[in-house]
């Protein structure tokens, strides 16, 4: 009876036939889970061990695990999931293994606004590059998706974005296809080729011509201005090396670079380290310096500038002109053109720097130039300064004392930097310089108590032995 029932079940299921071996498909073998006598973890394929195994009981776990496996490209995990959802196949997991799987995709997710903005800039330049190639070339250009992804990654690194993983080419292709309706993707072996369909292109271009260029300009200005007025900085009294980029926003610098050199990503890649970047920094600093949130309601010929957006360039120009020719008229002319700070602001700036130096003199209780370094042997020389001594009036005659200090660094001792004089953060409008410390202006008289001075006896030779030997050698000759 048992044999008859088995034959009936075999005939109804159509799984066996007389003399014919069982056939297993390749996909079914790939989807089959590993067989084991005891439950194993779905993620690490290991038994429970000291940690407990938990059974998948919600659809959210299956959804999250599938998303992680897809983003990470884990083919082994995807093969397991192809057999069905985790609840149906009764999958079990260690909590630590599931947490480690979730943590793998966190570094790859760029969630801050600066990173998203840099990705947007690079993608926009890539789109413009492909459009220019399509418009300029006589023959229809064909782009290899892998080359486009490498170009996109190179531009991201030049803009300062951190690219930890490789560029996901499928998502990049989908974004390009959504932005460029005339673009088509074709698979050729292992490569994906992108090319434009010229027949549909003119019709789509006419349909898109209704967009107003003025609206694009307004949107670009709003984006750049919003970021500009969120950035604040104050001049601390020193021009730091490579510090000009800190005073301009990335979106403003990228926009100026596009205006000067074009938005072609290939050109931007080649010109990233050339002198054009210096010109872009100059223009960007002037835009930051002259920008205002709201225009004045009444007409005024004066130009107002915020100290929170005084970039290094206008400050440096005023200080340079004042140091070379001391021309107030030239400084005010450039100020009216929006290229430097005013002469009155220059006097405030120099007074703040001088007051900072005097404050350091009082703190250190010595009048010492800020550039001198600590821990170095220093010598000084003193000499009289006489100007027009033959003058018969006190107005034209000057007599003073000049003091020169010299330091002697060595290859083993370079001294300690005392730092620059930092201007206070408190906004002040004074143009007066604080007086020097009293120990500098009031020098007490010094006099010897006796008229005859006796030098102490020297217990060793007055000259080093090597000099004595050299002199004895010259006498012998």
Same domain, yes or no, for 131 and 69?
Answer: no
pLDDT in tens, 141-179: 778 888 889 898 888 888 877 777 788 888 888 988 888
CATH of the domain at 128: 1.10.10
Same domain, yes or no, for 181 and 122?
Answer: yes
For residue 443, give the DSSP letter. P
pLDDT in tens, 231-285: 877 787 788 777 788 888 888 988 998 888 887 776 666 655 555 578 889 999 9
Same domain, yes or no, for 73 and 122?
Answer: no
pLDDT in tens, 295-322: 766 666 666 788 888 899 999 999 999 9
Among residues 104, 134, 158, the one where a domain terminates is 104
Same domain, yes or no, for 77 and 147?
Answer: no
pLDDT in tens, 318-343: 999 999 999 999 999 999 999 999 99
Same domain, yes or no, for 125 and 202?
Answer: yes
Same domain, yes or no, for 64 and 117?
Answer: no
The phi, psi pair for 194, rounded to 5°, reads -115, 130
Same domain, yes or no, for 139 and 187?
Answer: yes
Residue 317 lies in a domain: no
Same domain, yes or no, for 127 and 196?
Answer: yes
Using alpha carbons, list the distances in angstroms from residue 327 to 318, 333, 401: 10, 10, 29
Same domain, yes or no, for 130 and 97?
Answer: no
Among residues 210, 231, 261, the one where a domain terminates is 210
Give me 154's structure tokens: 């190179």
Which of helix, strand or coil describes residue 387?
A: strand
As for how many domains the chain has, the answer is 2
Same domain, yes or no, for 117 and 64?
Answer: no
Question: Please, what sign has the CA dihedral across residues 73, 75, 77, 80?
Answer: positive
Residue 136 lies in a domain: yes
Nearest to 246 by CA among 313, 194, 190, 302: 313
Residue range(s) defining the domain that contains residue 36: 25-104
- Max mean pLDDT range (83-97, 151-165, 314-328, 375-389): 314-328
Among residues 49, 84, 104, the one where a domain terminates is 104
Residue 382 lies in a domain: no
Distance from the first to the final alpha carbon of the chain = 134
Which secondary-structure segment (H or E) carries 100? Answer: helix 95-104
Residue 290 lies in a domain: no
- Report the pLDDT value the prediction gives residue 359, as an integer from 0 to 100: 84
Which residue has tokens 């403003």?
Answer: 252
Q: Rounded to whole angstroms, how far apart are CA atoms 121 and 123?
A: 5
Give the count of beta carbons closer than 10 Å to the beta carbon of residue 135: 10
Mean pLDDT, the chain, whole residue set: 77
Residue 167 lies in a domain: yes
Same domain, yes or no, for 136 and 93?
Answer: no
List of residues 6+ apart from 427 with CB closer than 8 A:
307
Residue 50 lies in a domain: yes
Which of helix, strand or coil describes residue 135?
A: helix
Residue 145 lies in a domain: yes
Residue 52 lies in a domain: yes
Nearest 10 degrees: Cα torsion 286, 305, 314, 348:
-170
pLDDT in tens, 270-284: 655 555 578 889 999
In 34-177 the beta strands, taken as DSSP E runs, fall at 54-55, 92-93, 142-144
Give the count of beta carbons closer than 10 Å to the beta carbon of residue 352: 20
Which of helix, strand or coil describes residue 214?
A: helix
- Report the pLDDT value the prediction gives residue 300, as an integer from 0 to 100: 62
Same domain, yes or no, for 127 and 185?
Answer: yes
pLDDT in tens, 211-230: 567 778 888 888 899 888 88
pTM: 0.52
Give me 418's structure tokens: 């005392």
């Amino acid at each position: 009876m048992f044999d008859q029932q088995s034959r009936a079940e075999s005939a109804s299921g159509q799984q066996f036939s007389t003399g014919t071996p069982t056939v297993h498909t390749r996909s079914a073998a790939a989807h089959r889970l590993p067989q084991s006598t005891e439950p194993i973890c779905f993620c690490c394929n290991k038994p429970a061990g000291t940690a407990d195994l938990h059974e998948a009981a919600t659809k959210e776990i299956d959804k999250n695990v599938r998303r992680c496996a897809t983003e990470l490209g884990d083919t082994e995990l995807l093969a397991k999931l192809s057999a069905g959802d985790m609840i149906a196949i009764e999958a079990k997991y260690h909590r630590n293994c599931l947490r480690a799987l979730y943590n793998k995709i966190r570094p790859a997710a760029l969630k801050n606004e600066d990173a998203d903005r840099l990705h947007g800039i690079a993608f926009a330049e890539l789109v413009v590059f492909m459009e220019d190639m399509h418009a300029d070339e006589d023959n229809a250009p064909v782009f290899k998706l892998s080359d486009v992804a490498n170009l996109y990654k190179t531009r991201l690194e030049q803009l300062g974005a951190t690219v930890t993983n490789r560029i996901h080419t499928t998502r990049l292709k989908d974004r390009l296809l959504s932005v460029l309706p005339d673009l088509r993707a074709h698979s050729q072996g292992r490569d994906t080729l992108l090319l434009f369909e010229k027949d549909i292109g003119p019709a789509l271009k006419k349909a898109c011509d209704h967009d107003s260029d003025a609206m694009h300009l307004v949107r670009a200005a709003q984006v750049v201005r919003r970021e500009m007025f969120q950035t604040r900085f104050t001049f601390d009294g020193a021009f730091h090396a490579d510090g000009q980029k800190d005073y301009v926003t990335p979106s403003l610098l990228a926009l100026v670079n596009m205006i000067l050199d074009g938005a072609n990503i290939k050109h931007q890649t080649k010109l990233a380290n050339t002198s054009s970047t210096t010109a872009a920094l100059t223009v960007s600093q002037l835009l930051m310096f002259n920008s205002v949130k709201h225009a004045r309601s009444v007409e005024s010929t004066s130009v107002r500038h915020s100290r929170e957006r005084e970039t290094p360039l206008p400050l440096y120009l005023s200080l340079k002109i004042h140091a070379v020719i001391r021309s107030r008229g030239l400084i005010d002319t450039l100020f009216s053109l929006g290229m430097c700070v005013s002469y009155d602001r220059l006097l405030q700036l120099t007074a703040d720097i001088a007051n900072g130096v005097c404050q350091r003199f009082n703190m250190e209780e010595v009048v010492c130039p800020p550039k001198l370094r600590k821990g170095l042997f220093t010598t000084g020389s003193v000499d009289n300064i006489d100007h027009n001594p033959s003058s018969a009036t006190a107005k034209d005659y000057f007599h003073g004392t000049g003091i020169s200090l010299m330091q002697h660094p060595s290859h083993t001792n370079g001294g300690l930097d005392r730092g620059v004089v930092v201007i206070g953060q408190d906004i002040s409008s004074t143009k007066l310089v604080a007086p020097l410390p009293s120990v500098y202006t009031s020098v007490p008289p010094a006099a010897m108590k006796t008229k005859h001075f006796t030098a102490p006896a020297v217990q060793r030779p007055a000259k080093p032995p090597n000099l004595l030997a050299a002199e004895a050698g010259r006498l012998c000759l």
